[in-house]
Structure 1
Amino acid sequence: MTNKITLDNQICFQISRAHQLFNKFYQEPLSKFNLTYVQYVTLLSLWEKDGVTVNYLSQKLGLSNGTLTPLLKRLEKADWITRKRDKKDERRVLVKLTEHGKKQEKTITSSVQGCLNRLNYDDKTFQQTMNTILDVQDRLEKSANKED
């Protein structure tokens, strides 16, 4: 690429700005449940696959254990999840949804979906956008692996 380096044509800046805007955007539907965006995506991951290890969540969400542990403690204190040592391997901590966490899935996802509908994506544009974002992630992962 030979574009002049300016703030507005930096992919990293535009993604960072979109990230900031999404965090603010998600505050509206999630505030009703006293959830942050990161707590929401953690619950979303557990709604897809419950009873997983902290390490699994760490990899799935791209968060360090140091970031994830206090987040999980807050979710546990608010009765969304439980954390228990694995009886087969005491080094592993299993994370499971509580009944409260399970029951809230449809309400929360409906609230978020209602908010997302305001973006006015048709199915084709949504999929194209997702493909572009996944392409950027893939390129970054490949680039990081070349440095190892």
Structure 2
Amino acid sequence: MTNQPDGEAETGPPLLDRQLCFALYAAQRAVTAAYRPVLEELGLTYPQYLVLLVLWERGETTVKDLAAALRLDYGTVSPLLKRLQSAGLVRRERSARDERSVLVAVTGRGEEMRERAARVPRALLEATELDEAGAEGLRRELWRLAERAGRAADRAR
């Protein structure tokens, strides 16, 4: 850290620890690592857990809509779904209405996993020593940042 007064621009080369992007990156990696032991007990990776969260919330959905909800591309979601299907947690099938569309839904085993996964959010709060109010405030700020950064990225295209 430098001894710059608040609000005053820093001169010289940018410092790694002063970069918002690096703080977000470090936090994301640490949070994912904090999830790991709890998710390992369930036999899930963090991205697989996110896929199941969407399916538990929305029910059967298309791969396209699932990818959009996760803000991932099809090429990233497809291998996740393949592994979840191999584990018996989801099923994939072509839509009868639109052959181009693939539908995804949790299986009975996937629904059973939902009950076991219900403790994951509380475990993360305990691991990070955040209370619910603090977590909610942080979540709101991060979503606001994501929205503003998304608009900035759209304008830059």
Question: TM-score normalized by structure 2?
Answer: 0.88
Identity percentage of aligned residues: 31
Over 3 Å counting, the alpha-carbon distance change for 1:32 and 1:65 in structure 2 is same
Contact 2:63–2:104 under 8 Å retained in 1? yes
Counterparts in 2 of 1:1-148, with a 5 A limit?
2-4=9-11, 5-148=14-157
Contact 2:90–2:105 under 8 Å retained in 1? yes
Partner AA of 1:77 in structure 2: S
Question: TM-score normalized by structure 1?
Answer: 0.93
What is the distance in 1 between the residues matched to 2:42 and 2:139?
A: 27
SS at match of 2:88: coil
Report deviation, 1:129. Answer: 0.7
Deviation per residue, 1:1-23 (Å, 9 max, x gap):
73352111111101111111112
SS at match of 1:100: helix
Partner AA of 2:80 in structure 1: L
Moved over 3 A (4+): none
Structure 2 residues without counterparts, runs of 5 or longer = 1-6
Contact 2:88–2:107 under 8 Å retained in 1? yes
Structure 1 residues without counterparts, runs of 5 or longer = none
Deviation per residue, 1:50-97 (Å, 9 max, x gap):
110000011100111001101100000000100000000000000000
Q: Between Structure 1 and Structure 2, whose CA radius of gyration is higher? A: 2
Contact 1:30–1:112 under 8 Å retained in 2? no
Contact 2:62–2:101 under 8 Å retained in 1? yes
What is the distance in 2 between the residues matched to 1:91 and 1:52?
A: 14
Contact 1:75–1:81 under 8 Å retained in 2? yes
What is the distance in 2 between the residues matched to 1:118 and 1:92?
A: 40
Over 3 Å counting, the alpha-carbon distance change for 1:111 and 1:132 in structure 2 is closer
